[in-house]
Structure 1
Amino acid sequence: MAVYTAPEGNLKVAVVQVGSAADANAAAAKAWSLFNPQAEREVRLVTAGAPGDGWEERVNISYETSPNERAVASATALREGGEWVVLITDGSELVANKRTAAISLVGQSIRPAGYTPESFAGRTANPLTSERVQLLRDFVAVSAETLEVPGVAIALIDKGKVVWQGGYGVRTLGEAAPVDENTKFMIASNTKGMATLLLSVLADEGKLRWEQPVTDLFPEFRLGSDETTRSTLVRHLVCACTGLPRKDYAFILADSGAPASDTFRQLAQSEPTSDFGELYQYNNLMASAAGYLGGALAYPDMELGAAFDKAMKTRIFDPLGMSNTTFDFEIGESGNWARPHGFDVEGEVTLLSNRFNHLITPHRPAGGAWSTAADMAKYVQLELSKGLSPEGVRVVSEENIVERRKRGVPIGENAWYGMGLMERKIADVSVVTHGGTLQGYHSNFYLLPDAGIGAVILTNSDAGASMLSPFLRRLLEVVYDGKPEAAQEVAAAAARLEKQAEVKRASLTVPGDPEVLAGLASYYEHPEIGSIRITRQGDTLAMKAGFVEGPIATRENADGSVSLVTAGPGLVPVEAVVGELDGHRTLTVRDNQHEYVYVETP
């Protein structure tokens, strides 16, 4: 057994060589008995993962914890032949969220003794012929059907040319209008790479330097303390390496109508939880600040949001011919656009309102763009050509477009974050990529720079997230004649989603426990974030917290506490623990590394 302890001392990752065991559950139980014989936790969820990396069987097990514990407890059981190895993660949830890269590195690098990982080094990439394109199209169609994703758009690029672009399925569940290459999707965090591309163009224009302090360019910028503010350079805004944790609930739970300047207000209240360059910590507000900095430098006399929108149009979208890419929701939600879909409380795929996704408007450089497969293909062509438009016109210098790809902070095994882009080494092949996630929209793009091949995939369902990694795997299989593993990944993901929905539903009382609901106040407030309102909708109570609302379900936690959980459809519920403080009723909401206590207000 090897035990890795986080510097904070309250999180451990153990790799236990169990040997023979009857099954994964028995292997995990034996591992816990060796690692911590006193541990007594009830199993919450058991799901099978896809085989791979030399393992014939992979099983993920999570255990019951209570929200007030802020704890993680999980095991991954790996089998080769008759021998099991178990990875255990146990300890502080806050530290686990901060040190995801280190946990991933340990987990991803466990392989059977003597196993030689697959390598594509030295292989000549296959061109994307019509036959190989058809293999990828067939994979997308089957995967979407397996995962019940209503619509998918893809684009494939080879040697600078778009070899195929189009869609599968429908824009809206239950309707006939098909998805095609011009269907608009929200691309979420794929916006980040475009925003850093704006900074690259401005660097070419002499308006900024990557190593320049942000306050030299935007004196209003502040990041918690004077020391951290002075230390923040332009590249730090988009490196995910400054030590700032995610703070998404600060805008998910906020009241609507905030201006673009709200990004800087929130950053002024933020402090890093790790040193610069020490850890990968993804922060949307910093990426938002990067885009708005670019807008302010391009059009200093305009309001921040309008300046950014205009700078992206004039410096990026227009030069590339991305005529269907916009930050305007009125345009995005009109004509040929894909509606978002997600799971309801029973685990069924359903149409979602897009209201939730409007939350990104004040912070849109981090994830607010609408685009299409055809437009994204032009962006990928620019990346593959290192700065040339599809027509061969230089949009940005090679030096500054490639600067964004330089390996920065590690995010796992053979993976690094640059500036709004990631690089991964898969089977000794470099893949430059980034993903995007909003409610009901999941997307990714991939560059295989050495092969001159690129791909885009856009989906209109939360289940679409489970297509992204297998799609990349299938692309590599087709290009490099890799082992056929992608289909197994999709099958495992479909089974996992079904099991997760089943276990989640079993944990909830829907509608909520009448006794708990009768004891709620009608209005709770947090001084910095906003309010939570409890209202009646027919015979049930509903909860509204910022951009999340829905009927209230309740869950009794292992420690006896009770949580309210919004039971409306969609990826992001609000879970609030019922409590009391100084004689006042409270609701406590927690995210990555923050806690928000809402107190009843008359």
Structure 2
Amino acid sequence: MKLTSALPLSLALLAVPAISFAQGAAADTPGKTATGLSFTQPRDWTVAVRGPLTVFTVPEGDLSVAVAEVGAAANAQDALAKAWSLYRPDAGRVSRTSNPGLPGDGWDERTSFSYETSPSERVNVSATAMRVGAAWTVVITEGSAATANKRAAAMSLVQRSLRPAGYKPENFAGVTAKRLTPDKVQVLRDFVAKAAQELQVPGVGLAFIDQGKVVWQGGVGTREIGKNEPVDAHTKFMIASNTKGMATLLLSFLADEGKLSWDEKVVDVYPSFRLGDDAVTQSVLIRHLVCACTGLPRKDLSFILADDGAPASDTFVRLAQTTPTSKFGELYQYSNLMAAAAGYIGGALAYPKMELGAAFDKAMQTRIFDPLGMKDTTFDFAKGESGDWAHPHGFDVDGRMVEMSNAFNHLIPPYRPAGGAWSSAADMARYVLLELGKGTIDGKRYVSEANILERRRRGVPTGENNWYGMGLMEHVVSGVSVITHGGTLQGFHSTWFALPDSGIGLVILTNADTGPTMFDPLLRRVFELVYDAKPQAEQQLAVAAARTKRQAGMRRARLTLPPDPAVMASLGKLYRNPADNGTIRISERNGAPWITAGFVEGPIATRKSADGTVSIVSAAPGNIGVEAVVGEKNGTRTLTVRDSQTDYVYTEVR
């Protein structure tokens, strides 16, 4: 988790070459550079050109994506240096790491670069060098971290739409897909087994669907590293944000029952619903609860750092304190709190006399899990963490794959419609069958076609040929519609893909933080088998696995562990954030300094930035941790934890 503090970015942008900016585009607009490189200019962004440099700038003016066509270069690093000399020759940016990327989309070579930024800057800086033939193009992104968070979808649109002149993408629209025969299923199983081995994922739950039938379901590997219990079709994994689509499926059932309509105002069906902005509160319809389009920032740290014991109603308390950071319907901003509200409102409509959490649990059980025969799926952690269940894993600070405690994931029950379900490959296959069957399985209708499909209606764009619906996403991949959603918690990562036009579906559940690295290569392998797509999956996997190993090694290099004694001597023992009523405790465990911040805990490392800023960092295994900047305010010691749009300031309690 990168933590930075504010610096007016205008100071940094003063060095950008003087260019006369065009007006912002009224809609996403295709364009070309002088050399014929194609791009898409996002709505409301300006684009300006000076020779080989094309600069896209956000409406806020504090973030730019610069495309530098540098021509011949000795290598990617040389191309990068030439690009900075065109864009900001006095920037002084030093690349921290480089990672080879995958050729494709007309490019023969790609290399991505990341940069070390100090907390005082609060900026995002990255670059990608791409080569076609002997000519290099470099994309530099630099600007406000807060704006980058808000406008990530548009940034992706610029970057992913860049293609060399004359490139013609593959297109399988209208092509009849081949069937997932047993030999093809075996190829996919072998591919997943190889991916799991290369990525050190102990276990994977899998299911493959074709023409309304599960053609295979089961598992690869083991439930725990170093143990022999195999993953099978009924092994339980946390599915995290894949719970969202199930919560909106509940709304589809309730729409069939006449308990709601998609275009009702939320305040009309649940009067106590409030956001931090009255106008937005009044604008939110039922369909907007999980649209990621209301302008609310994520604020996940608000509940990650909270103390244990919050009730389901805490979702609505936190929403009432959350103010939009973009206009309604303007941008894609993912909100777990809004998704949690959707599920709880659905539960309240189904069982209005019950406590919110209990009502939601019962509504999901009676409308979805029981009717669909999803016997492994539950919100009960005692049931989830017993019997046939996969344990979470992640890299430790030294880059070794280890089993982790599941304690961190116990943060989710108060907000469980957004990500708290346990499920299995067999149960998720039933869920995907329902999606492919447009509300039917084996000829039996469970929910109307109109209301199940409403969830995947294209909503706010998330990038090129990508849209968010209601707890579901649509990607158009090589002309083929793919319905999907992912899920991420500590040590658990899941996804599923449904190809409605061909009736093909797949489920992937993993029990390690490296799991998502195999998702796109597996989908590509499916395309190779059923559409005769050009073989790329093996190379995608190899490049991604190498990048993952490299990134695991980078983490240790940035940290001092054991921590700097002088920094530790400067700390208090207890800090509190009055706004969120959370605490950070500094203690010792097994003779080593230890941090406990809400649901995050672990040994303490320290980090010193180039500008002298010092942070303490939780160094436990896993991808989710806390970095807190050590400081002082009005004579009182402070720790500040930041996400891209919010500061969480903790002051010492004496």
Does residue 460 of the first structure (1) align with residue 519 of the second (2)?
no
Contact 2:379 2:416 in 1 (8 A): yes
Is 1:365 aligned to residue 417 of structure 2?
Answer: yes
Work out whether 1:374 is the aligned partner of 2:389. no
Alignment match, 1:189: 241
Q: Which residue of 2 aligns with 1:451?
A: 502
Give the secondary-structure state (helix, strand or coil) at the position aligned to 2:576: strand
Following superposition, the deviation at residue 475 of structure 1 comes to: 1.5
Q: Does 1:354 align with 2:406?
A: yes
- State the 1:450 CA deviation: 0.2
Q: Which amino acid aligns with 1:218?
A: Y
**One-letter amino acid matched to 1:271:** T
Letter in 2 for 1:207: K
The CA deviation string for residues 438-496 of structure 1, in whole angstroms up to 9 with x for no partner, is 00011101110000111100000000011111111111221111111111111111111
Q: Secondary structure at the match of 2:289?
A: helix
Instruction: Tell me, yes or no, if structure 1 residue 521 matches structure 2 residue 575.
Output: no
Does 1:600 pair with 2:652? yes
Q: Secondary structure at the match of 2:594?
A: strand
Q: 2:520 aligns with which of 466, 469, 494?
A: 469
User: How far apart, in 1, do the equivalents of 2:277 and 2:143 lie?
Assistant: 30
Match of 2:474 in 1: 423
SS at match of 1:58: strand
Q: Does 1:403 align with 2:466?
A: no
Corresponding position: 1:68 with 2:120: yes
CA distance in 2, matches of 1:469, 1:600: 45
2:83 corresponding residue in structure 1: 31
* In structure 1, distance between residues paired with 2:84 and 2:264: 50
Q: Is the CA contact (8 Å cut-off) linking 1:245 and 1:592 kept in structure 2?
A: no
Give the Cα–Cα distance (whole angstroms) in 2 for the partners of residues 15 and 576 of structure 1: 34
What's the offset of the Cα at 1:122?
3.0
Output the CA distance in 2 between the equivalents of 1:522 and 1:41. 37
Using the TM superposition, name which of 426-435 and 35-44 deviates more: 35-44
2:444 alignment partner, SS class: coil
Deviates further, 465-474 or 10-19:
465-474
| Partner residue, 2:144 | 92
Provide the rounded CA distance (Å) in 2 between the counterparts of 1:203 and 1:336: 35
| SS of equivalent to 1:65 | coil
Q: Does 2:232 align with 1:180?
A: yes
CA distance in 1, matches of 2:181, 2:116: 50
2:369 and 2:377 in contact (8 A); partners too? yes
Paired residue for 2:486?
435
Match for 2:183: what amino acid?
Answer: E
**Aligned match of 2:537:** 486
Q: Which residue of the partner structure matches residue 165 of structure 1? A: 217
Any conservation in 1 of the 2:207–2:217 contact (CA below 8 Å)? yes
Q: Alpha-carbon deviations, 1:495-551, whole Å to 9, x = none?
A: 111211222211110010011111100011101220000001233211100000001
Aligned residue for 2:444? 393
Partners of 2:553 and 2:505 lie apart in 1 by: 37
Contact (CA 8 Å) 2:397, 2:556: kept in 1 or not? yes
User: 1:247·1:592 contact (CA, 8 Å) conserved in 2?
Assistant: no
Are 1:511 and 2:559 an aligned pair? no
1:309, 1:498 → 2: CA distance?
Answer: 40
Q: CA-to-partner distance for each residue in 1:298-323, whole Å, 9 max, x for gaps?
A: 00000000000000000011110001
How far apart in 1 are the matches of 2:297 and 2:196? 33
- Does the 8 A contact of 1:416 with 1:423 survive in 2? yes
The equivalent of 2:317 in structure 1 is 265
**Post-superposition offset of 1:121:** 2.0
Code of the residue aligned with 1:404 in structure 2: it is R
**CA distance, structure 2, for counterparts of residue 289 and residue 569 of structure 1:** 31
SS at match of 1:97: helix
Distance in 1 separating the partners of 2:167 and 2:280: 45
Question: Residue type of the partner of 2:455?
Answer: R
Shift of 1:67: 2.1
CA distance in 2, matches of 1:598, 1:475: 49
2 CA distance for matches of 1:316 and 1:528? 38
SS at match of 1:592: coil
Match of 1:240 in 2: 292
1-structure distance, mates of 2:543, 2:650: 39
Q: Which amino acid aligns with 1:352?
A: M
* SS, match of residue 203 in structure 1: helix
Deviations 1:322-373 (A, max 9, x none): 0110000000000000000001000110000001001011000000000000
Aligned with 1:312 (options 351, 364, 370): 364
Q: Given residue 288 of structure 1, which amino acid in structure 2 is its aligned partner?
A: A
Among 233, 236, 259, which residue is 1:207 paired with? Answer: 259
- CA distance in 1 between counterparts of 2:154 and 2:594 reads 39
Distance in 2 between residues matched to 1:205 and 1:127, nearest whole Å: 37
Q: Percent identity?
A: 65
* Runs of 4+ residues over 4 Å off in structure 1: none
**Partners of 2:277 and 2:324 within 8 A in 1:** no
- Is there any run of 5+ residues in structure 1 with no aligned partner, and where? none
Of residues 93, 102, 111 in structure 2, which corresponds to 1:41? 93
Preserved contact between residue 24 and residue 77 of structure 1 (Cα < 8 Å): yes
Write the distance in 2 (CA, Å) between the matches of 1:558 and 1:331.
48
Matches of 1:309 and 1:55 in 2, distance apart? 49
- CA shift for structure 1 position 92: 0.5
Normalising by structure 2, report the TM-score: 0.91
Residue 349 of structure 2, aligned match among 297, 301, 314: 297
CA distance, structure 1, for counterparts of residue 455 and residue 195 of structure 2: 32
Superposed CA offset, 1:220-267 (max 9, x none): 100112211111111111100001111100010000110000000000
In 1, Cα distance between the equivalents of 2:298 and 2:350? 28
SS in 1 for 2:241: helix
Distance 1:83 1:551 in 2: 47
Q: Could you tell me which residue of structure 2 aligns to residue 554 of structure 1?
A: 606
Q: Give the secondary-structure state (helix, strand or coil) at the position aligned to 2:501.
A: coil
> In the alignment, is the contact (CA less than 8 A) between 1:246 and 1:592 conserved in 2?
no
Cα distance in 1 for partners of 2:422, 2:182 equals 29
Q: Is residue 322 of structure 1 aligned with residue 374 of structure 2? A: yes
Give the AA of the match of 1:316. I
CA positional deviation for 1:48: 1.0
Counterpart Cα distance in 1 of 2:525 and 2:571: 50
* Structure 2: distance between partners of 1:120 and 1:535: 58
1:169-196 Cα offsets, whole Å, 9 max, x none, are 0000010000011100000000000000
Q: Does 1:334 align with 2:382?
A: no
Q: Which of 540, 562, 568 is the aligned partner of 2:620?
A: 568
Partner SS for 1:543: strand
Any residues of structure 2 matched to 1:90-169 within 5 Å, and which? Answer: 90-169=142-221
- Secondary structure in 2 matching 1:599: strand
- The alignment of Structure 1 onto Structure 2 pairs a total of residues equal to 601
Whether 1:9 and 2:61 are equivalent positions in the alignment is yes
Selected match of 1:77 from 129, 138, 160: 129
Q: State the Cα distance separating 1:203 from its structure 2 match.
A: 0.5
Listed one character per residue, the Cα deviations across residues 71-95 of structure 1 (whole Å, up to 9, x for unaligned) are 0111001111111111110011110
Mapped to 2, the partners of 1:228 and 1:191 lie a distance apart of 25
State the match for 2:546 in structure 1.
495
Give the superposition deviation at 1:592: 3.1
Q: Distance in 2 between matches of 1:464 and 1:89?
A: 27
Give the whole-Å Cα distance in 2 for the aligned partners of 1:226 and 1:92. 27
Secondary structure of residue in 2 paired with 1:238: coil
Other-structure match for 2:15: none
2-side partners of 1:51 and 1:164: how far apart?
32
What does residue range 572-587 of structure 1 map to in structure 2 within 5 Å? 572-587=624-639
Contact 1:44 1:503 in 2 (8 A): no
